[in-house]
């Protein structure tokens, strides 16, 4: 079972990097947003510094939404999802592999690229590590919760927009506590702990519960 899980994870990472370009789309989206914002709000460095954490987190959320519709659709079109139903690897673990591959190819590059883009926004140096940490942990929640929306809209035409509408309300708390964690880190290291722990608890809950919901949605779509 472990071998099958790792093989599926490697396959999804390979397909995302070589064919679907999920990380490239996400990084390109972040670059466009960060490049345009100074023209929109003006050259006020103080204002840009204040907006930087919220903007970078919002860009992460939207970039995640852009890439969710490809989580299951290619396997559905190829008939591989039906094979997953009868494979030795439980469908729930297949969903976990899909979510981790999405996190590795989308959130991970964005989390480490965000501080570089933050230079354009005059991001404070003390906020760099909290930004990376919150994006990595919060990105797990975004990827795992996103599997539910992708599974529910699997058989619908142009389901990408509907996926965003369905799961966006669940993304808002992650966005709020991600930004609160960074703001708290600017106040002091001790203040960072509480909102960050809430973010961690969200990730743990998402990793524990969403694979079962997404697998149930996939079984319903394949019946």
Give the count of beta carbons closer than 10 Å to the beta carbon of residue 32.
11
Tokens of 180: 């609160």
**Interatomic CA distance for residues 7 and 1, integer angstroms:** 10
At 19 the pLDDT is: 62
Domain residue limits, the chain: 2-222
Q: How far, in Å, CA of 16 to CA of 24, rounded?
A: 10
pLDDT of residue 219: 87
Measured CA to CA, the distance from residue 23 to residue 42 in angstroms comes to 29
Instruction: Tell me the pLDDT tens digit for each residue of 13-33.
Output: 887 777 655 567 777 777 787
Q: pLDDT value at position 202?
A: 95
Cα separations (Å) of 142 from 1, 5, 19, 70, 178? 26, 21, 22, 15, 12
Residue 135: Cβ within 10 Å count: 25
What confidence score (pLDDT) does residue 16 get?
A: 76
195 vs 183: CA distance, rounded Å = 10
Selection from 27, 33, 22 nearest residue 110 by Cα: 27
Q: Which residues of the chain have pLDDT under 50?
A: none
Could you give the CA distance from residue 34 to residue 85 in angstroms, rounded to a whole number?
42
Which tokens is 217 given? 């949605």
**Which tens digit of pLDDT belongs to each residue from 187-213?**
877 778 889 999 999 999 999 999 999
Q: Could you give the C-alpha distances from 52 to 98, 125, 141, 217, in angstroms and in order?
A: 30, 12, 21, 37
Task: Name the residue with tokens 């927009």.
Answer: 161
pLDDT at 198: 94
């Amino acid at each position: 079972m472990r071998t099958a899980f790792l093989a599926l994870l490697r396959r999804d990472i390979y397909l995302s990097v070589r064919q679907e370009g999920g990380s490239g789309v996400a990084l390109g989206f972040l670059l466009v947003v960060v490049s345009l914002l100074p023209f929109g709000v003006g050259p006020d460095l103080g204002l840009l510094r204040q907006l930087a954490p919220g903007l970078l987190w919002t860009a992460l959320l939207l970039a995640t939404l852009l890439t969710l519709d490809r989580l299951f659709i290619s396997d559905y079109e190829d008939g591989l999802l039906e094979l997953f139903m009868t494979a030795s690897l439980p469908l729930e673990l297949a969903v976990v592999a899909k979510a981790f591959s999405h996190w590795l190819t989308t959130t991970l590059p964005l989390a480490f690229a965000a501080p570089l883009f933050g230079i354009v926004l005059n991001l404070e140096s003390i906020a760099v590590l909290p930004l990376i940490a919150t994006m990595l942990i919060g990105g797990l929640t975004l990827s795992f919760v996103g599997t539910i929306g992708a599974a529910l809209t699997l058989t619908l035409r142009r389901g990408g927009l509907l996926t965003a509408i369905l799961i966006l309300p669940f993304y808002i708390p992650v966005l709020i506590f991600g930004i609160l964690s960074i703001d708290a880190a600017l106040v002091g290291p001790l203040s960072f702990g509480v909102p960050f722990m809430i973010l961690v608890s969200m990730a743990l809950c998402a990793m524990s519960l969403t694979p079962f919901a997404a697998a149930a949605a996939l079984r319903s779509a394949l019946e």
